[in-house]
């Protein structure tokens, strides 16, 4: 019985395991449309918690939300040369509407620069209007060839920030501010610590001067690009004629940025923490943080246990997202499996024996051997202990993720044979010196499937960087290599 219901083990087939976790925990389902997914209530609830946390960070740093159209006139997209070129292959185009052929086809936004800048251009007149700090929560469409739930779908949800500044320095400061917020969010909320850094010239966002990214390591040692922040320079300002009048009365192009994270983060969350029992969620992003499961035999016990459970729920409610699972159609064991599969951090069992001892039995989801690790808590202490336990679990997940990342990080690699050996036996993040040539990366990619993720920021760079590249040439700076989603 238990055998049949078990997930494909993570160690056996990571991809099948991932799909299984997503399906079984009811985060998402497939749809009648190829490459599109349905985000189910449990998955959407996680996204809402992410949205709330990020939105507060954006607002606290002076950003405002707005909403721009889904449709972008095709001609708008074509105004920034690199931008069109970059997105051309993945564009979905509407050519008919109201039963008629449209005069000008409408692109379904793959990102909103091309519709936002013509509009923001009108909002920006004077240096007094700057900086202009706008964010929008939206869906976008990119026609990908190969899709996977949350990680890559034709349509996905994200936030995209778009800001305008008076100077390059201001735009750069904004770009790094957001990169920092993303990092903070991923560490403190997701317990998914990223390596941050700058992308190579050829890996930049189409139309950007500089692209920074957060790269997180998944449990299969692949990298997930989890957030990007771009300094767009004056490229879009020139393309869309976004000028402001300076204090001296001169007309200047603004300097702009854009940045985003998407529902891909949910996939990252799954691949960072989950195990063979199913989803594991960091408490801060768990839609249900505590589930109370009552246990009874006789009718009399049922009455008493249900009352105690309801009371326990009301004690925790308010501070904690708590669910009292009082269904009488499932036995307790079935409920345990269900909530473990869905990643609920703490289960509180309450039965006749607990009532007798004036206690509840807590079981923590993050411990791999959940079945054996029961922790009795005196009834009077539950309200105080639960928040502490949640905090400890949150920290424990971050510590574990950091440990995994460091265990699979290799610094100062200079020998290409060693590099290939690491990539072919488990993989990970490999820090090396780099000559700067695109062909060098291409060869490595052909040989090992690994690519340059970023030039690491100061916080992540090695103390000493080899002066030779793995190709044997002279190194200009350090890079981080990994196989990536």
Partner RNA sequence: CGGGGCGUGGCGCAGUCCGGUAGCGCGCCUGCUUUGGGAGCAGGAGGUCCCCGGUUCGAAUCCGGGCGCCCCGACCA
Closest CA to 470 of 459, 481, 461, 460: 481
Q: Does 403 bind RNA (CB under 7 A)?
A: no
Given candidates 112, 135, 196, 228, which one binds RNA under the rule CB under 7 A? 228
Selected range binding RNA among 144-152, 164-172, 400-408, 458-466, rule: CB under 7 A: 144-152
Q: Does 321 bind RNA (CB under 7 A)?
A: no
Q: Does 153 bind RNA (CB under 7 A)?
A: yes
Q: Looking at residue 468, what DSSP letter applies?
A: B
Task: Show the tokens assigned to 103.
Answer: 């005069």
Q: Compute the 3-state secondary structure of the chain and give helix, strand, coil in percent, each to the nearest 5.
A: 40, 30, 30
Q: Does 326 bind RNA (CB under 7 A)?
A: no
Q: Does 173 bind RNA (CB under 7 A)?
A: no
d(CA 234, CA 212) in angstroms, rounded, equals: 17
Residue 40: other Cβ atoms inside 10 A: 15
Site residue total, RNA (CB under 7 A)? 62
Q: Does 131 bind RNA (CB under 7 A)?
A: no
Does the N-terminal peptide bond of residue 409 adopt cis geometry, omega within 30 degrees of 0? no
Given candidates 73, 105, 332, 396, which one binds RNA under the rule CB under 7 A? 332
Q: Alpha carbon of 146 to those of 32, 142, 149, 202, 233: distances in Å?
A: 16, 11, 11, 22, 32
Q: Does 328 bind RNA (CB under 7 A)?
A: yes
Q: Does 358 bind RNA (CB under 7 A)?
A: no
Selected range binding RNA among 100-108, 170-178, 322-330, 471-479, rule: CB under 7 A: 322-330
Spatial contact of 330 and 13, defined as CB atoms under 8 Å apart: no
Spatial contact of 246 and 252, defined as CB atoms under 8 Å apart: yes
Q: Does 6 bind RNA (CB under 7 A)?
A: yes
d(CA 59, CA 44) in angstroms, rounded, equals: 22
Spatial contact of 334 and 342, defined as CB atoms under 8 Å apart: no
Nearer to RNA, 100 or 146 (CB): 146
Residue 189: other Cβ atoms inside 10 A: 22
Looking up tokens 């008919």, which residue turns up?
Answer: 96
- Within 294-381, residue ranges assigned H as helices are 299-316, 332-341, 352-357
The maximal CA–CA distance of the chain, rounded, in angstroms, is 85
Q: Looking at residue 248, what DSSP letter applies?
A: T
Nearer to RNA, 59 or 297 (CB): 297
Q: Does 295 bind RNA (CB under 7 A)?
A: yes
Given candidates 128, 146, 318, 417, which one binds RNA under the rule CB under 7 A? 146
Given candidates 55, 82, 129, 144, which one binds RNA under the rule CB under 7 A? 144
3-state secondary structure of 321: coil
Q: Does 92 bind RNA (CB under 7 A)?
A: no
Q: Does 361 bind RNA (CB under 7 A)?
A: yes
Residues 11-30 that bind RNA (CB under 7 A): 15, 19, 30
Looking up tokens 């970059």, which residue turns up?
Answer: 86
Spatial contact of 276 and 24, defined as CB atoms under 8 Å apart: no
Given candidates 119, 370, 377, 400, which one binds RNA under the rule CB under 7 A? 370
- Could you tell me the smallest distance in angstroms from the CB atom of residue 79 to RNA? 20
Given candidates 174, 354, 441, 478, which one binds RNA under the rule CB under 7 A? 354
- Could you tell me the smallest distance in angstroms from the CB atom of residue 209 to RNA? 15
Selected range binding RNA among 72-80, 120-128, 244-252, 262-270, rule: CB under 7 A: 262-270
Closest CA to 21 of 39, 35, 7, 34: 7
3-state secondary structure of 409: strand
d(CA 151, CA 218) in angstroms, rounded, equals: 12
Selected range binding RNA among 170-178, 332-340, 400-408, 422-430, rule: CB under 7 A: 332-340
Q: Does 351 bind RNA (CB under 7 A)?
A: yes
Given candidates 255, 296, 429, 434, which one binds RNA under the rule CB under 7 A? 296
- Could you tell me the smallest distance in angstroms from the CB atom of residue 338 to RNA? 5
Helix H, strand E, coil C: the string for 373-408 is CEEEEEHHHHHHHHHHHHHHHHHHHHHHHHHHHHHC
Nearer to RNA, 147 or 235 (CB): 147
Closest CA to 208 of 236, 171, 174, 244: 236
Nearer to RNA, 90 or 201 (CB): 90
Spatial contact of 76 and 39, defined as CB atoms under 8 Å apart: no
Q: Does 337 bind RNA (CB under 7 A)?
A: yes
Given candidates 42, 78, 148, 238, which one binds RNA under the rule CB under 7 A? 148
Q: Does 229 bind RNA (CB under 7 A)?
A: no
Q: Does 197 bind RNA (CB under 7 A)?
A: no
Given candidates 219, 221, 225, 235, which one binds RNA under the rule CB under 7 A? 225
Catalog residues that contact RNA under the rule CB under 7 A: 1-2, 4-6, 15, 19, 30, 33-35, 89-90, 142, 144-148, 151-154, 156, 205, 213, 225, 228, 262-264, 277, 295-297, 302, 328-334, 336-338, 340-341, 349-355, 361, 363, 370-371, 449, 484-485
């Amino acid at each position: 019985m238990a055998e049949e219901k078990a997930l494909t083990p993570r160690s056996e087939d990571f991809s099948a395991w991932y799909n299984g976790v997503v399906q079984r925990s009811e985060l998402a389902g497939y749809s009648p449309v190829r490459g599109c997914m349905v985000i189910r209530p449990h998955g959407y609830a996680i996204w809402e918690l992410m949205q709330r946390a990020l939105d507060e960070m954006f607002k606290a740093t002076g950003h405002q939300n707005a909403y721009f159209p889904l449709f972008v006139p095709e001609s708008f997209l074509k105004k920034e040369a690199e931008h069109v070129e970059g997105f051309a292959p993945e564009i979905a185009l509407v050519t008919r509407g109201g039963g008629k052929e449209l005069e000008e086809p409408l692109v379904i936004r793959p990102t909103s620069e091309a519709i936002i800048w013509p509009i923001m251009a009108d909002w920006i007149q004077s240096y007094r209007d700057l900086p202009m700090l706008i964010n929008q929560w939206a869906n976008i469409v990119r026609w990908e060839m190969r899709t996977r739930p949350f990680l890559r779908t034709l349509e996905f949800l994200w936030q995209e920030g778009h800001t305008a500044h008076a100077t390059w320095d201001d735009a750069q400061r904004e770009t790094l501010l957001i990169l920092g917020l993303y990092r903070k969010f991923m560490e403190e909320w997701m317990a998914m610590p990223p390596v941050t850094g700058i992308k190579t010239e050829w890996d930049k966002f189409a139309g950007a001067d500089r692209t920074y990214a957060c790269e997180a390591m998944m449990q299969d040692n692949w990298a997930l690009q989890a957030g990007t922040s771009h300094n767009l320079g004056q490229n879009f300002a020139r393309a869309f004629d976004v000028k402001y009048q300076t204090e001296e009365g001169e007309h200047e192009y603004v300097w702009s940025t854009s940045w985003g994270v998407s529902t891909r983060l949910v996939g990252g969350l799954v691949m960072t923490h989950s195990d063979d029992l199913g989803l594991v969620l960091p408490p801060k992003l768990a839609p249900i943080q505590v589930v109370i499961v009552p246990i009874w035999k006789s009718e009399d016990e049922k009455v008493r246990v249900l009352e105690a459970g309801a009371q326990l729920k009301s004690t925790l409610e308010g501070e904690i997202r708590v669910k009292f699972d009082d269904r009488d159609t499932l036995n307790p064991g079935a409920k345990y499996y269900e909530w473990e599969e869905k990643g609920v951090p703490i289960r509180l069992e309450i039965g006749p024996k607990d009532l007798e001892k004036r206690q509840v039995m807590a079981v923590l989801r993050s411990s791999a051997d959940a079945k054996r690790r029961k922790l009795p808590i005196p009834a009077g202490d539950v309200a105080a202990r639960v928040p502490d336990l949640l905090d400890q679990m949150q920290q424990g997940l971050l510590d574990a993720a950091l440990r995994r990342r460091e265990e699979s990080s290799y610094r100062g690699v200079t020998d290409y044979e060693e590099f290939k050996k690491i990539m072919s036996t488990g993989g990970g993040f490999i820090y090396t010196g780099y000559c700067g040539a695109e062909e060098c990366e291409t060869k490595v990619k052909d040989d090992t499937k690994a690519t340059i993720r970023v030039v690491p920021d100061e916080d992540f760079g090695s103390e000493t960087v080899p002066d030779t590249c793995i190709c044997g040439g002279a190194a200009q700076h350090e890079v981080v290599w990994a196989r990536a989603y």
